[in-house]
């Protein structure tokens, strides 16, 4: 007997293993629920380059047509581009066939609402309710609309970003850039984007073959080839996109990867340099962001983990820049979503306007050391344990927006039960690696004691 | 009531009610699971629901590991021809033929280019009911191929099978109504290859049906008046996938679709040996024609699949139905409207007779066709009840009930494509036929009330 098959339904959509848990029938049911939820209107359909993308896309299109919606196919495009276009072209919503960085056997559907925003938790609940009821609104044959196709729709997204940047300054520098697109959807636009920015470019993994060249998480371990190429090409900058092209990691001119937190730090600094306004980031983003906002004397808002939480807060407080420490930069001047092209543009603009190299810019920020760990723990116990910790540390400066974050003057720890796995995630940061490790170890120990006591 | 009908020709239903994306996905997955690995062709008629169904079909075929050859808008007989020619595993034609615009259907075609035989049909249903499909894993996925030009390949074959020189010399003028179905536009090419002057109406191919796409006199009004007005020699009325044709003579007379089969038989049997196959509901005109050539007539159940399978078994020269669809030996084992149009023109050119003259040589009978709507679960039991109207008469129960008397025959059967009982009677006397049909109709409506 095979073990339970993984089909993950979450706020950001549905993911599964193609042919096992994710079949054309499942995709069609979700799309029929989505079409029923949104009602007749234009719905953009995009995909990442996975080989199973076309198969799932066709099941989705069939259901959207059957529910009276008009699908607008844009082909393989980055997620931020599709989010942007959904708003720009006044779509009723969008569906993207993607499993971002999951292995190739996986695929998934992401559902995007009007205004190019991910569905809010309350909207997801309504939409899933229709899915579970299985009562879909199918229209009679004469009200079925034709499929529309748009070629080169991504152009509009790039033009919008370019219009928000100091193009003259960037182009004058003729930056040498090595870009690793991880064979993902970013490869459709990154070459053109860098060309428009007047860069001399060496491109890696731009073939959209549907098989990823390497683990597409843009974390330091996966960047060794890029670092080497940056040194070899004598580049000013190395860029690594993830498969969806919503996140970006950087490599400096010496071939060193400073970590994804600096993508956010550099872009926040660059935006605030020119304009003052609120900032919103999630609880786990590095405290280097706190230093930056202090410098510009602007308010900062810390949100629950998850892109839609950050976006929601940003819209609420009219933040002018924000994002996540994993390299996901959100600049509402273009569109309120994580966008690796926006991050690229802002980093280059920062280098161009300051006249500094990337390593100089990074050195100008205080140095912090962040460590992440996890502790296996059944989810009910995890919540109890974190609640107990909240009680114990109630006298400290804490945030209970998402699990528990304890904040000291020059360090912090964030403990949070995972939504998707039976684990507790721990993230700590301080001015030294040894100290961060010490914080982490002591809290892990404390958690284990609490768990023992509780069970 | 959600209208859904399963038969050997496929699965048919009203779009959005019975025919939903999920049902289409399940049937196409069953078909993909049934067939061995290899390419499968997909084509459709012009119905507005066509793309919705096609996307689901392609998704399922890809998911079960088949390469898909997308033929786009393509009449069923051309799909059948290409399936055999390119030695693919099978095909799905998305069309509801003569049904109104709100219907659509999946028609399953095997590697020989014919509709599924009864064993294949049963297999398909078993896999569908089992709901366990052989999905492909996602590492590598088959592709969609668009490269084939269906019309090019098909017409270069057909061109060589009919006497185009003689047809061209006759300088015919014809009126054709493809009902904005899959025959639209292709008809221009076909007639120009034959050297025939074409006046086409409802030739936009936009899926908007100005009348039901069923070739029969009540839908032929437009063609008939144009034939007379333009002095054309013949008018053709097509269904939405060009598998059926009804004819209009040069005088503007709209012929019953029953005439198509005996007319072509009266020409084709002149040089093609073999028996004739037709169904139990079809006019006895073809019997008289066959008798003239000393041929046997084999009667089968209704439906293209039964006719074609019997034709192949018996080596028949011609097989067809009173609905205006037929197949000829030496062409392809499929009801093919292009072949029908080609042969009617060839017959007129060779005989140098007008269509009305050729029709006058056929025996005249009066056929009355009627139907009564009835709950799907009572279809067959109600048909069986009508046996009581004919006690002690010899009946043929191959497909419903058929009684042959001296001065008439009557056939009462459950439709395979709609929830209706069809009643067809034929007699040299119109009143006699009508009387029998009315008797059965009132009997059935009493039973249902």
The answer to whether residues A289 and A206 belong to one domain is yes
**pLDDT band at residue A443, thresholds of 50, 70 and 90?**
very high
Q: Is residue A164 part of a domain?
A: no
- Measured distance CA(B403)–CA(B408) in Å, rounded: 8
Is A338 within the bounds of a domain? yes
Question: CA nearest A145 in B: which residue?
Answer: B48
CATH code of the domain covering residue A115: 3.40.120.10
- Best CA proximity match to B22, nearest among B65, B57, B50: B57
Tell me, yes or no, whether A230 lies in a domain: yes
Best residue of B57, B63, B72, B132 to probe chain A, by most A CBs closer than 10 Å: B63
pLDDT averaged over consecutive 10-residue blocks of chain B (449 residues)? 69 93 97 97 97 98 97 98 98 95 96 94 94 87 92 96 97 98 97 97 95 95 96 97 97 95 98 97 94 96 94 97 96 98 98 97 92 91 92 87 91 88 93 95 92
Mutate to test the interface with B, among A5, A21, A24, A53 (most CBs of B within 10 A): A24
Does residue A421 have a pLDDT over 80? Answer: no
* Residues A185, A314 within the same domain: yes
Q: Could you tell me if residue A163 is inside a domain?
A: no
Which positions in chain B touch A61 (Cβ < 8 Å)?
52, 55
**pLDDT tens-digit map of A403-415:** 999 999 999 999 9
Residue A18 contacts B, CB cutoff 8 Å: yes
pLDDT tens sequence across A98-148: 987 778 888 999 999 999 999 888 888 899 999 999 999 999 999 999 999
Interface touch A51/B53, C-beta < 8 Å = no
Of A87, A120, A153, the one marking the end of a domain is A153
pLDDT class of A2 with cuts at 50, 70, 90: very low
pLDDT at A251 over 80: yes
Question: A18 with A99, same domain?
Answer: yes
Q: Tell whether A345 and A394 lie within a shared domain.
A: no
Domain of residue A62: give its range.
7-153
The verdict on a CB contact (< 8 Å) between A25 and B29 is yes
Same domain, A373 and A428: yes
Question: Any idea what DSSP says for residue A145?
Answer: P
A 10 A CB-CB count for A38 gives: 20
Instruction: Evaluate if residue A364 carries a pLDDT over 60.
Output: yes
As a three-state string, the secondary structure of B353-405 is CCHHHHHHCCCCCEEEEEEEECCHHHHHHHHHHHHHHCCCCCEECCCCEEEEC
From chain A, pick out residues whose CB is under 8 angstroms from the CB of B138.
Answer: 17-19, 50-52, 104-107
- Considering the domain architecture, whether residues A63 and A109 belong to the same structural domain is answered as yes
Quick check: A7 contacting B, CB < 8 Å?
A: no
**Number of domains present in the structure of chain A:** 3
Q: Identify whether A158 is part of a domain.
A: no
pLDDT band at A419 (very low <50, low <70, confident <90, very high): confident
Catalytic residue from among A52, A63, A100, A284: A100
Beta bridge partners of B11: B6, B106
Task: Determine the 3-state secondary structure of B132 from DSSP.
Answer: coil
Identify the structural domains of chain B with CATH numbers, from first to last: 4-148 (3.40.120.10), 153-360 (3.40.120.10), 366-448 (3.30.310.50)
Please check whether residues A228 and A142 belong to one and the same domain: no
> Does residue A89 sit within a domain?
yes
Q: Do B141 and A138 touch (CB under 8 A)?
A: no
- Under the banding of pLDDT at 50, 70 and 90, the label for residue A297 is very high
**Catalytic: A100?**
yes
Closest residue in A to B56 (Cα) is A59
Q: In this structure, are A373 and A260 located in the same domain?
A: no
Residue A454: the pLDDT is 87
A138 domain-assigned: yes
Number of A:B CB contacts under 8 A? 126
Please judge whether A140 and B15 are an interchain contact, meaning their C-beta atoms are less than 8 angstroms apart: yes
Count of residues in chain B: 449
Find the residue in A nearest to B20 (Cα).
Answer: A66
- The contacts of residue A13 (CB under 8 Å, 6+ apart) are A108, A109, A110, A111
Say if residue A217's pLDDT is above 70: no
A336 and A312 together in one domain: yes
Report pLDDT for A220.
67
Q: CB contact, 8 Å: A136 with chain B?
A: yes
What is the distance between the alpha carbons of residues A324 and A308, in angstroms, rounded to a whole number?
Answer: 11
Which residues does chain B have within 8 Å of residue A50's beta carbon, measured at their own beta carbons? 138
Work out the average pLDDT over A334-355: 98
Position B10 scores a pLDDT of 84
Residue with tokens 């659509």: B104
In a domain, A159, yes or no: no
CA distance B73 to B205: 9
Residue B217 is given by DSSP the state G
Asked if the Cβ–Cβ distance from A18 to B53 is below 8 Å, we say no
Nearest CA in chain B to A137: B16
Q: Which of A25, A51, A61 sits opposite B25 (nearest CB)?
A: A25
Model pLDDT, residue B406: 87
Contact A62 B141 (CB under 8 A): no
CATH code at position A449: 3.30.310.50
What is the value of ipTM here, to two decimals?
0.89
CA-nearest residue to B206 within chain A is A146
Tokens of A17: 């293993």
The nearest alpha carbon in chain A to B16 belongs to: A138
Domain boundary among A363, A390, A409: A363
Give the confidence band of A214 by pLDDT, cuts at 50, 70, 90. low
Cβ of B138 within 8 Å of Cβ of A54? The answer is no
**Percentage of chain A exceeding pLDDT 70:** 96
Check if the beta carbon of residue B306 is closer than 8 Å to that of residue B116: no
Question: Phi/psi at B238 (nearest 5 deg)?
Answer: -110, 155
- Residues B211-230: b if buried by 16+ CB within 10 A, e if exposed: ebbbbbeebbebbbebbbee
| Domain identity same for A359 and A373 | no
pTM: 0.90
Say yes or no: A261 and A389 in one domain.
Answer: no
pLDDT for the residue A213? 53
Q: Which of A221-230, A332-341, B313-322 has the lowest mean pLDDT?
A: A221-230
> Could you say which of A126, A153, A180 is where a domain stops?
A153
Phi first, then psi: give them for residue A343, nearest 5 degrees. -60, -45
Same domain, A305 and A287: yes
Interchain CB contact of A40 with B (< 8 Å): no
CB contact under 8 A, B133 and A141: no
Q: Verify whether the Cβ–Cβ distance A52 to B17 is below 8 Å.
A: no
CA distances from B383 to A205, A260, B246, B278, B409 (A): 68, 75, 29, 21, 16
pLDDT above 60 (res A5): no
CB of A420 within 8 Å of any CB in chain B?
Answer: no
Predicted confidence (pLDDT) per residue in A78-93, tens digit:
999 999 999 999 999 9
């Amino acid at each position: 007997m095979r073990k339970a098959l993984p089909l993950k339904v979450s706020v950001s959509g549905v993911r599964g293993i193609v042919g096992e848990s994710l079949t054309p029938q499942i995709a069609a049911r979700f799309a029929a629920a989505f079409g029923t939820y949104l009602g007749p209107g234009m719905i953009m359909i995009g995909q990442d380059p996975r080989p199973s993308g076309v198969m799932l896309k066709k099941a989705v299109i069939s259901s959207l047509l059957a529910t009276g919606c008009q699908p607008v196919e844009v082909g393989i495009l980055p997620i931020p581009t599709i989010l942007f276009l959904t708003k720009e072209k006044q779509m009723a919503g969008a569906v993207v066939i993607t499993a971002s960085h999951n292995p190739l056997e996986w695929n998934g559907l992401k559902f995007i609402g009007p205004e190019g925003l991910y569905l809010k938790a309350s909207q997801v609940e309504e939409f899933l309710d229709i899915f579970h009821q299985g009562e879909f609104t199918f229209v009679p044959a004469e009200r079925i609309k034709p499929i529309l196709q748009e070629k080169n729709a991504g152009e509009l997204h790039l033009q919008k970003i370019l219009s928000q940047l100091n193009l003259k300054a960037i182009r004058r520098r003729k930056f040498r850039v090595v870009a690793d697109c991880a064979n993902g959807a970013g490869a459709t636009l990154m070459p053109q984007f860098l060309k428009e920015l007047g860069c001399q470019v060496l491109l890696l993994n731009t073939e959209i073959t549907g098989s990823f060249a390497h683990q597409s998480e843009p974390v330091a371990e996966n960047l060794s080839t890029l670092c080497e190429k940056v040194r070899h090409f004598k580049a000013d900058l190395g860029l690594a996109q993830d498969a969806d092209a919503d996140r970006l990691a950087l490599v400096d001119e010496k071939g060193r990867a400073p970590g994804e937190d600096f993508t956010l730090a550099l872009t926040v600094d660059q935006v605030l340099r020119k304009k003052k306004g609120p900032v919103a980031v999630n609880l786990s983003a590095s405290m280097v962001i706190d230093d930056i906002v202090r410098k510009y004397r602007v308010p900062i808002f810390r949100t629950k983990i998850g892109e839609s939480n950050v976006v929601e807060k940003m819209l609420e407080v009219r933040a002018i820049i924000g994002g996540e420490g994993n390299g996901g930069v959100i600049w509402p001047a273009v569109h309120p979503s994580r966008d690796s092209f926006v991050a690229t543009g802002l980093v280059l603009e920062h280098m161009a306007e300051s006249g500094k190299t990337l390593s100089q810019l990074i050195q100008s920020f205080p140095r912090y050391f962040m460590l992440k760990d996890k502790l296996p723990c059944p989810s009910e116990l995890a919540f109890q344990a974190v609640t107990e910790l909240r009680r114990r540390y109630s006298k400290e400066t804490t945030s209970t927006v998402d699990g528990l974050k304890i904040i000291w003057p020059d360090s912090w720890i964030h403990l949070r039960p995972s939504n998707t796995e039976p684990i507790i995630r721990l993230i700590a940061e301080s001015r030294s690696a040894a100290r961060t490790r010490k914080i982490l170890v002591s809290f892990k120990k404390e958690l284990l004691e609490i768990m023992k006591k509780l069970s | 009531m959600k209208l859904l009908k399963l038969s050997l020709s496929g699965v048919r239903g009203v779009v959005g009610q019975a025919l939903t994306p999920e049902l289409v996905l399940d049937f196409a997955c069953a078909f993909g699971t049934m067939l061995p690995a290899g390419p499968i062709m997909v084509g459709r008629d012009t119905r507005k629901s066509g793309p919705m169904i096609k996307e689901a079909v392609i998704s399922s075929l890809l998911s079960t590991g088949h390469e898909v050859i997308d033929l786009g808008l393509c009449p069923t007989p051309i799909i059948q021809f290409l399936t055999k020619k390119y030695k693919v595993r099978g095909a799905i034609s998305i069309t509801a033929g003569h049904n109104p615009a709100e219907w659509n259907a999946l028609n399953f075609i095997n590697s020989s280019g014919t509709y599924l035989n009864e064993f294949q049909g049963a297999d398909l249903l078993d896999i569908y009911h089992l709901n366990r499909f052989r999905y492909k894993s996602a590492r590598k996925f088959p592709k969609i191929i668009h490269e084939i030009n269906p019309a090019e390949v098909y017409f270069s074959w057909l061109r060589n099978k009919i006497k185009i020189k003689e047809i061209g010399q006759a300088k015919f003028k014809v009126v054709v109504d493809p009902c904005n179905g899959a025959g639209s536009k292709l008809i221009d090419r076909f007639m120009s290859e034959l050297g025939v002057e074409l006046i086409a109406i409802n030739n936009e191919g936009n899926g908007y049906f100005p009348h039901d796409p069923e070739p029969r006199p009540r839908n032929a009004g437009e063609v008939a008046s144009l034939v007379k007005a333009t002095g054309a020699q013949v008018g053709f009325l097509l269904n939405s996938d060009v598998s059926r044709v009804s004819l209009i003579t040069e005088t503007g007379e709209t012929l019953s679709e029953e005439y198509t089969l005996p007319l072509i038989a009266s020409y084709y049997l002149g040089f093609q040996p073999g028996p004739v196959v037709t169904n139990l509901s079809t006019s006895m005109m073809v019997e008289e024609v066959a008798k003239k050539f000393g041929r046997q007539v084999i009667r089968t159940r209704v439906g293209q699949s039964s006719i074609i399978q019997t034709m192949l078994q018996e080596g028949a020269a011609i097989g067809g139905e009173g609905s205006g669809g037929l197949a000829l030996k030496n062409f392809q084992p499929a009801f093919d409207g292009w072949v029908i149009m080609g042969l009617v023109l060839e017959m007129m050119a060779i005989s140098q007779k007008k269509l009305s003259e050729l029709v006058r040589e056929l025996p005249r009978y009066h056929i009355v066709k009627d139907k009564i709507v009835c709950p799907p679960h009572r279809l067959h039991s109600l048909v069986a009840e009508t046996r009581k109207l004919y006690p002690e008469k010899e009946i043929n129960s191959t497909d419903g009930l058929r009684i042959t008397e001296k001065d008439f025959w009557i056939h009462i059967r459950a439709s395979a494509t709609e929830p209706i009982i069809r009643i067809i009677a034929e007699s040299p006397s119109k009143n006699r036929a009508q009387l029998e049909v009315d008797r059965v109709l009132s009997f059935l409506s009493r039973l249902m009330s």
